[in-house]
Amino acid sequence: MAIFHKWKINPFTYFIFLSFLLTGYIKNILLIFLILCIHELGHIFFLKRFSYPIVRVEIFPFGGITTTEKPINTPINQDICIYLGGVLFQGILFFLFSFLYQNGFLYENTYHLFLKYNRSILCFNLLPIKPLDGGEIMELLFEKFFPYTKSFSLSITVSFFFLLIFLLYNIKCNLNGYIVISFLLYKILDFTKKKEHYKNKFYLERYLYTFPYKKIEHHEVQDITLLKKETLHFFKENQKYRHEKEILQEKFDIHTYF
C-alpha cells in the first residue's frame, strides 16, 4: 500500500525500542509497536473514508501522529470519527486477541501483557490534552457550542490544566514519562504560539470556500471572532445584514486597501 511510504519512526522511538530489546523485553516492544500502528491505521481509515490527504505518519514511543492537509472547517462529526478511529481499531484488536487467547493461540502472559498495554495506550490517548485524541475531541465538542477562536482558547486552557494534573499524578515517573510530559508541554505551547495562524487559516477558508452549514446566525455587531463551524453568519450594518464573506473580504482582499 502506498500509504506506508509515508510512515516514519521517530529517532527517539528507535532508542526506546533498542533499550527494550537489550534488556530482553522483545515481546513487550513488539506488542506496543503493534498497538501503536493499529491505532494510527484507525485514523487513516477514516481520513481515507472522508477523502482527506495524508502527509505523513510518525510513530513515537508513546503514540503516533498522523499529519493531514484537512481544512479546519470540515464537519465536526466527521472529525470526531477520525479521532475516535484509533480507539475503534484498538477495540477491534482487543476482540482479535481475545479470540486468539480463548482458542489457545496465545499464551496467558502474552494476552494479559497485551491487555495492559492496550488499556494504557487507550487511556493515555483519551486524556483531554492537545494534541492527544482526547484533547482534539474536547476542542471539537467545544466547537459545537462556541465560536472557533473561543473553542481553541478553551482547549488550550483545559489542556494546560490536565497536563498539570497528569504531571502531579506521575511526579515520580521514569525518564520516559518526563519525556512524554515535556513533549505534551511543547505541543501545547506550540499551539499557543500559533494561535493567530490557526485563526487566520480558519477565516481564510471561510472566505475562499463554501462549506456545508447546519444553521444560520444573525449578529447585531460586526465581529468575525463570532464565527462558528457549520454555521453561516450575517452581520448587521446600517440596518442591513451583510454576508460573512463580505466582512472577511475586507480582511483578506488586497483590493479593499487601494
Q: Which residues are catalytic?
A: 40
C-alpha to C-alpha distance for 187 and 183, rounded to whole angstroms? 6
Q: Decide: 27 and 110 in contact? Cβ < 8 Å.
A: yes
C-alpha to C-alpha distance for 112 and 96, rounded to whole angstroms? 14
Peptide bond into 212 cis (omega under 30): no
Please, which residues have CB within 8 angstroms of residue 88's CB and are 6 or more apart in sequence? 42
Phi and psi for 105 in degrees, rounded to 5?
A: -90, -10
For residue 158, the Cα-to-chain-centroid distance in whole angstroms is: 15
- Sign of the CA dihedral running 53, 83, 207, 201: negative
C-alpha to C-alpha distance for 48 and 251, rounded to whole angstroms? 34
Strands (E), 13-115: 54-60, 63-68
C-alpha to C-alpha distance for 202 and 190, rounded to whole angstroms? 17
Q: Which residue is it, cell 486477541?
A: 97
114-143 b/e with 16+ CB inside 10 Å = b? Answer: beebbeebbebbbbbbbbbbbbbbbbbebb
Q: Which residue is it, cell 513533549?
A: 183
3-class secondary structure, 239: coil
